């Protein structure tokens, strides 16, 4: 019905030879969150009038077909339509395929054009990306002797941490060009394999999650050459994900029992108090600057949560539906109001956030996967997205 309505409005406007097309408020706009404000005024070029008649969906018209001047009624309207155009046009630029083995983890370097990959072939590989991400050349192979489930770069120090299935956590110091690696420490206080690692964004603290149903906090030495365990946090089941909030004293953990825990940390990181336990959630991600986090659920939905600045308790602001499988990964863009989700339905979706992150609209979908997409990460300063799926393939999109 909406498509027919738009076609009739467009046809009527052009038959009257109008230079302006005024689109008025309808409940459809508000429900779909395409237009957060009621009116658009669009100045059309003559060449685009015929092309506009061929399209009826408003967001496609404004984002792709209009070359004329668009006066947006609000910053939210401009944000939604420009970002939709940007992410709808993303294309795969390169692939990494692990023949005979599986990729289990990957990570971008925080400042250099380096991608690290790891898997069950006992090697951590460092790849240098070209400017556009279309080619990758191998810089270094790091053999750790065991299958690697998690890797992460330190945000400031030249340090790479690897978590292995033999319960080892290696700290590796990197040369400036990442071509040389020196093993500086091996942490062996877990009783089972390491599934996840995270560095605190500002403090000399590292978290690890293990198959022994615990998460541990480690205090790093000033140069990252050693670490001391300062706290052990019990969980239920394998802890396959850990993460720190960038500004709040909050640690989140996620286990195979589909439970996400939020824990308030003391100033010296020696104590952790459970604030909330969220059941039936398989993944989580913190917003890079706001007191917001997202969780992915086994009921095919994504929840947006706001943490109270008083007691850090979470309040659910929105539930995003659209996937047809459990949500395996959620991640916020480092600078843009974008949330990306990957699912067992073999799709990656882009959601634009607005209204203080209390609402979101799906603006783009990446197709072409033959198996589940297990993980998604953004490059910290380049317009590149990396995805990891169950067919042992890492894809870079731009």
**CATH number for the domain that contains residue 210:** 2.130.10.10
- The Cα–Cα gap between 91 and 242 comes to 30
Beta-carbon count within 10 A of 113 CB: 18
259-283 average pLDDT score: 94
Indicate the length of the chain as a whole number: 398
Please give the pLDDT value at position 392.
76
Q: Among 108-112, 150-154, 330-334, 381-385, name the one with the lowest average pLDDT.
A: 381-385
Q: Do both 110 and 257 map to the same domain?
A: yes
Q: pLDDT tens digits, residue range 317-346?
A: 999 998 999 999 999 999 888 999 999 999
Integer angstrom CA distances of residue 69 from 24, 44, 196: 18, 7, 49
Share of the chain above pLDDT 70, in %: 78
- The Cα–Cα gap between 185 and 172 comes to 7
Q: Do both 300 and 200 map to the same domain?
A: yes
Dihedral of alpha carbons 340, 233, 204, 195, sign: negative
Q: Do both 121 and 36 map to the same domain?
A: no
DSSP letter for each residue of 380-394: SSSS-EEEEETTTEE
Q: Do both 149 and 59 map to the same domain?
A: no
Beta-carbon count within 10 A of 288 CB: 15
Print the domain residue range for 306. 96-397
Q: Is residue 230's pLDDT more than 50?
A: yes
Q: Do both 263 and 146 map to the same domain?
A: yes
Closest CA to 374 of 127, 94, 102: 102
Q: Do both 81 and 155 map to the same domain?
A: no
381: which residues sit within 8 A by CB, 6+ positions away? 111, 334
52-69 average pLDDT score: 41
DSSP letter for each residue of 268-325: TSS-EEEEEEEESEEEEEE-SSSSEEEEEETTS-EEEEEE-TTT--EEEEEEE---SS
8: which residues sit within 8 A by CB, 6+ positions away? none
- The Cα–Cα gap between 124 and 102 comes to 12
233-241 average pLDDT score: 92
pLDDT bracket for residue 25 (50, 70, 90):
very low
346-373 average pLDDT score: 87
Q: pLDDT tens digits, residue range 181-216?
A: 999 999 999 999 999 999 999 999 999 999 999 999
Please give the pLDDT value at position 63.
40
Please give the pLDDT value at position 31.
35
Q: Do both 122 and 231 map to the same domain?
A: yes
End of a domain among 57, 88, 119? 88
Query: To the nearest whole number, what is the mean pLDDT of the chain?
Result: 82
Q: What stretch of H or E contains 3?
A: helix 2-15
Q: pLDDT tens digits, residue range 273-320?
A: 999 999 999 899 999 999 999 999 989 999 999 999 888 999 999 999
Q: How many CA atoms does the CB half-sphere of 334 hold within 13 Å? A: 12
112-141 average pLDDT score: 91
- According to DSSP, the residues that pair with 197 across neighbouring strands are 208
92-113 average pLDDT score: 86
- Say if CB 365 and CB 357 are below 8 A apart: no
Look at the chain and report how many structural domains it folds into: 2
The model's pTM is 0.81
Please give the pLDDT value at position 134.
84
Q: Among 46-55, 113-122, 255-264, name the one with the lowest average pLDDT.
A: 46-55
pLDDT bracket for residue 92 (50, 70, 90):
confident
Please give the pLDDT value at position 89.
76
Q: Do both 371 and 352 map to the same domain?
A: yes
- The Cα–Cα gap between 110 and 171 comes to 17
- According to DSSP, the residues that pair with 218 across neighbouring strands are 206, 229
Please give the pLDDT value at position 81.
63
- The Cα–Cα gap between 341 and 327 comes to 7
Q: Phi and psi of 379, rounded to 5°?
A: -70, 140
Q: Do both 319 and 370 map to the same domain?
A: yes
- Say if CB 184 and CB 225 are below 8 A apart: yes
Closest CA to 252 of 271, 275, 268, 231: 275
Closest CA to 206 of 256, 251, 167: 251
End of a domain among 88, 113, 128? 88
pLDDT bracket for residue 390 (50, 70, 90):
confident
Q: Do both 275 and 318 map to the same domain?
A: yes
Q: Do both 251 and 293 map to the same domain?
A: yes
């Amino acid at each position: 019905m909406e498509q027919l309505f738009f076609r009739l409005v467009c046809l009527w406007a052009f038959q009257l030879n109008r230079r302006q097309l005024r689109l008025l408020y309808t409940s459809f706009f508000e429900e779909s969150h395409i237009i957060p404000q009621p009116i658009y005024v669009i100045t059309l070029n003559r060449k685009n009038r015929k092309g506009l008649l061929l399209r009826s969906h408003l967001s496609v018209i404004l984002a792709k077909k209009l070359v004329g001047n668009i006066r947006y009624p609000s910053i939210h309207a401009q944000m939604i339509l420009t970002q939709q155009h940007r992410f709808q046009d993303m294309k795969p630029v390169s692939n990494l395929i692990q023949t005979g083995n599986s990729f289990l983890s990957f990570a971008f370097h925080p400042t250099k054009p380096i991608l690290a990959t790891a898997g069950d072939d006992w090697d951590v590989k460092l790849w240098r990306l070209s400017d556009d991400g279309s080619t990758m050349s191998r810089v270094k192979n790091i053999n750790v002797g065991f299958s690697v489930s998690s890797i992460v770069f330190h945000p400031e120090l030249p340090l790479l941490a690897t978590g292995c299935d033999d319960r080892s956590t290696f700290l590796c110091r990197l040369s400036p060009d990442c071509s040389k690696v020196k093993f500086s420490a091996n942490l062996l206080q877990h009783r089972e394999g390491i599934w996840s690692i995270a560095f605190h964004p500002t403090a000399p603290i590292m978290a690890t999650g293990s198959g022994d149903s615990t998460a541990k906090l480690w205090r790093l030495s000033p140069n990252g050459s050693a670490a001391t365990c300062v706290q052990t946090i019990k969980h239920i089941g394998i802890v396959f994900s850990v993460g720190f909030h960038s500004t709040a004293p909050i640690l989140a953990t996620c286990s195979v029992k589909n439970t996400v825990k939020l824990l308030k940390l003391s100033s010296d990181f020696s104590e952790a108090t459970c604030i909330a336990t969220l059941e039936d959630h398989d993944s989580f991600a913190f917003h890079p600057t706001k007191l917001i986090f997202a969780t992915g659920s086994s009921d095919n939905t994504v929840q947006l949560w706001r943490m109270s600045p008083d007691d850090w308790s979470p309040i659910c602001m929105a539930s995003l539906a659209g996937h047809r499988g459990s949500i395996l990964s959620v991640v916020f863009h480092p600078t843009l109001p974008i949330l990306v989700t990957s699912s067992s339905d073999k799709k990656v979706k882009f959601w634009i956030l607005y209204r203080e992150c209390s609402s979101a609209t799906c603006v783009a979908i990446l197709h072409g996967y033959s198996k589940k997409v297990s993980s998604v990460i953004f490059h910290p300063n380049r317009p590149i997205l990396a995805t990891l799926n169950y067919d042992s393939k890492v894809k870079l999109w731009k």
